[in-house]
């Protein structure tokens, strides 16, 4: 049994600050009351216990309250990435069989291809609110959220995350990082990401404050940290570097009250970690994915400086092993199991097992050192991590292959100082076509961060004896040009 998070928290610490946003603060009592009223509107909108609502919006207090309303109402949430195109969103809505799409008004254009019923936030708030009695507890396997992760086949997979998954993740995190009176987390992540949602989940379980911002702002982050208003922040490499620049340029000092900067979304350059150390900014690298409901390994504060470059040790409820490794420093695929690991997928991937013999195969390559610290040496061989966003080449290749002038397409990572990596496309043309035409074609079908930053024409794609595209050879071609 897991207590309904907000019901329990509002009863325990009703006057504790819950969410601060743009000068306004809600206590847990106020958050509960507002979310309960919105839960009643969900009932009016036709959503009952077990219904599935897709949420499309930015990072705001309204969206945070709506998320809590869905939890109170027992409505499963499909967390839509607000950076996707209308076509990509339509696929996820259809695949998830969502009963209703709820969207913030500025995102209306992205709902044009919606295959399900939809309702704008302004119209939603005008609905009358029906009485709702939230369930006092949840079963461990109750689905709370569904988040799509790019698929290696070009079809994104809807990952099912349960009450047990999220709760185990939050408990493991606090056992690793600790909890102190007055803790507050600076939230500048997208709410639709697992990292963004997990911050909300941890806060309501711990009874701590979330200081919410619409997007990452280096100057605001520095102010929040240096003023002592926050004790933690989640970031990816590209946002960490912007924060470092801000602190260095302004000569600001990080106070000891700030204890944790969790860095995820891909490897953090050692130079960033060294700069952070010089500033007194405690950066702890993490390793995780959508299927593990956020972090599964994290470097603790006491080891952060002596194990630079490591993702730490598995969290309390997590178990990690290196496939085929018999001793320290032997590399192999990272395998994960624990109560935080998804039970499976939905939609077209519903029959795809997430686990093999009880283990999640990450596709990532890593090793343990002699003290049992995990080092991730390579991400998934084909995965491009751009500013914390996961991009699978096959998805882009599928779009390019549909262009009438393209015979074959191959996509690989290209180094970027700003984003870490960006996609680069290689094209074997069927007829004359320009890079500008291909870029425009991609922009109408893919999120902006997935659009290749360069297009190279080649006569033939490099393939192995099994006729499989060798993206490593594409990277060599890219490096040689």
Q: Kindly report, residue by residue over 408-419, the tens digit of the pLDDT.
A: 899 999 999 889
Whether residue 104 is found in the same domain as residue 205 = no
Residue 376 pLDDT: 85
Residue 466 pLDDT: 44
| Inter-residue contact 379 to 266 (CB < 8 Å) | yes
As a whole number of angstroms, the distance between CA 170 and CA 302 comes to 20
Note whether residue 155 is domain-resident. Answer: no
Q: Which of 87, 119, 138 finishes a domain?
A: 138
Show Cβ contacts of residue 49 under 8 Å, excluding neighbours closer than 6 positions: 73, 74, 75, 135
Whether residue 54 is found in the same domain as residue 132 = yes
pLDDT reading at 470 higher than 90: no
Note whether residue 408 is domain-resident. Answer: yes
Note whether residue 469 is domain-resident. Answer: yes
The CATH number of whichever domain residue 43 belongs to comes to: 3.40.50.980
Note whether residue 145 is domain-resident. Answer: no
As a whole number of angstroms, the distance between CA 71 and CA 138 comes to 10
As a whole number of angstroms, the distance between CA 459 and CA 89 comes to 34
Whether residue 303 is found in the same domain as residue 340 = yes
Weakest mean pLDDT among 202-206, 353-357, 387-391? 387-391
Q: Are strands 283-289 and 260-264 parallel, antiparallel or unpaired?
A: parallel
Residue 306 pLDDT: 86
Number of domains in the chain: 3
Average pLDDT over residues 398-403: 86
The CATH number of whichever domain residue 300 belongs to comes to: 3.40.50.12780
Q: Which of 378, 405, 433 finishes a domain?
A: 378
Whether residue 322 is found in the same domain as residue 344 = yes
Average pLDDT over residues 301-317: 87
The CATH number of whichever domain residue 423 belongs to comes to: 3.30.300.30
Note whether residue 150 is domain-resident. Answer: no
Whether residue 100 is found in the same domain as residue 202 = no
Whether residue 44 is found in the same domain as residue 134 = yes
Owner of token pair 């097992």: 353
CB neighbourhood size of 69 (10 A): 25
| Inter-residue contact 54 to 152 (CB < 8 Å) | no
Whether residue 27 is found in the same domain as residue 125 = yes
Whether residue 364 is found in the same domain as residue 412 = no
Place 481 in a pLDDT band, splitting at 50, 70 and 90. low
- Please compute, for residue 78, the number of CA atoms within 13 A of its CA located in the half-sphere on the CB side: 28
pLDDT tens sequence across 1-46? 899 999 999 999 999 999 999 999 999 999 999 999 999 999 999 9
Whether residue 196 is found in the same domain as residue 52 = no
Residue 468 pLDDT: 63
| Inter-residue contact 195 to 170 (CB < 8 Å) | no
Whether residue 356 is found in the same domain as residue 217 = yes
Whether residue 224 is found in the same domain as residue 334 = yes
Place 465 in a pLDDT band, splitting at 50, 70 and 90. very low
Whether residue 318 is found in the same domain as residue 405 = no
Note whether residue 466 is domain-resident. Answer: yes
Nearest to 82 by CA among 195, 244, 193: 193
pLDDT tens sequence across 102-153? 999 999 999 988 999 999 999 999 999 999 999 999 999 999 999 998 654 5
Note whether residue 100 is domain-resident. Answer: yes
Nearest to 163 by CA among 342, 361, 32: 342
Residue 272 belongs to what domain range?
171-378
Q: Which of 378, 410, 438 finishes a domain?
A: 378
Place 385 in a pLDDT band, splitting at 50, 70 and 90. confident
Residue 378 pLDDT: 60
Note whether residue 160 is domain-resident. Answer: no
| Inter-residue contact 295 to 280 (CB < 8 Å) | no
Average pLDDT over residues 218-239: 95
């Amino acid at each position: 049994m897991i207590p309904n998070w907000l019901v329990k928290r509002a009863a325990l610490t009703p006057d504790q600050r819950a969410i601060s946003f743009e000068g306004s603060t809600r206590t847990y009592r106020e958050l509960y009351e507002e979310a309960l009223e919105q839960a009643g509107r969900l009932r009016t909108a036709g959503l009952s216990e077990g219904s599935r609502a897709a949420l499309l919006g930015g990072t705001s207090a309204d969206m945070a309250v709506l998320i809590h309303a869905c939890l109170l109402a027992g409505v499963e949430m499909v967390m839509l990435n607000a950076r996707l195109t209308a076509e990509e969103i339509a696929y996820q809505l259809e695949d998830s069989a969502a009963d209703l799409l709820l969207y913030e008004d500025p995102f209306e254009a992205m709902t044009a291809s919606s295959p399900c019923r939809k309702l704008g936030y302004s119209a939603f708030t005008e609905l009358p609110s029906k009485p709702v009695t939230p369930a006092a507890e949840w079963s461990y396997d109750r689905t709370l959220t569904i988040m799509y992760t790019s698929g290696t086949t070009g079809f994104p997979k809807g990952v099912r995350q349960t009450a047990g998954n999220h709760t185990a993740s939050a408990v493991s995190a606090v056992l690793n990082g600790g909890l102190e009176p007055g803790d507050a987390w600076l939230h500048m992540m997208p709410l639709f990401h697992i990292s963004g949602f997990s911050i909300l989940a941890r806060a309501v379980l711990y009874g701590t404050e979330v200081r919410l911002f619409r997007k990452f702002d280096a100057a605001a982050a520095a102010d929040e940290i240096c003023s002592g208003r926050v004790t933690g922040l989640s970031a990816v490499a590209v946002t960490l570097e912007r924060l470092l620049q801000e602190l260095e340029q302004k000569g600001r000092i990080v106070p000891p009250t700030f204890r944790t900067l969790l860095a995820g979304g891909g490897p953090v350059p050692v130079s960033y970690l060294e700069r952070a150390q010089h500033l007194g900014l405690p950066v702890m690298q993490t390793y995780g994915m959508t299927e593990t409901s956020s972090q599964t390994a994290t470097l603790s504060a006491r080891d952060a400086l002596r194990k630079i470059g490591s993702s730490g040790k598995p969290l309390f409820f997590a178990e990690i092993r290196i496939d085929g490794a018999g001793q320290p420093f032997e590399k192999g695929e990272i395998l994960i199991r624990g109560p935080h690991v998804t039970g499976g997928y939905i939609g077209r991937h519903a029959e795809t097992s997430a686990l093999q013999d009880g283990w999640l195969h990450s596709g990532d390559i890593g090793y343990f050192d002699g003290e049992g610290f995990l080092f991730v040496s390579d991400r998934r061989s084909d995965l491009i991590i751009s500013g914390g966003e996961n991009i699978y080449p096959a998805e882009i290749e599928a779009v390019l292959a549909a262009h009438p002038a393209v015979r074959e397409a191959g996509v690989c990572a290209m180094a970027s100082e700003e984003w870490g990596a960006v996609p680069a496309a290689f094209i074997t043309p069927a007829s004359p076509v320009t890079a500008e035409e291909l870029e425009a074609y991609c922009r109408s079908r893919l999120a902006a961060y997935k659009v290749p930053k360069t297009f190279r024409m080649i006569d033939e794609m490099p393939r192995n004896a099994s006729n499989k595209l060798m993206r490593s050879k594409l990277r060599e071609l890219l490096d040689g040009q």
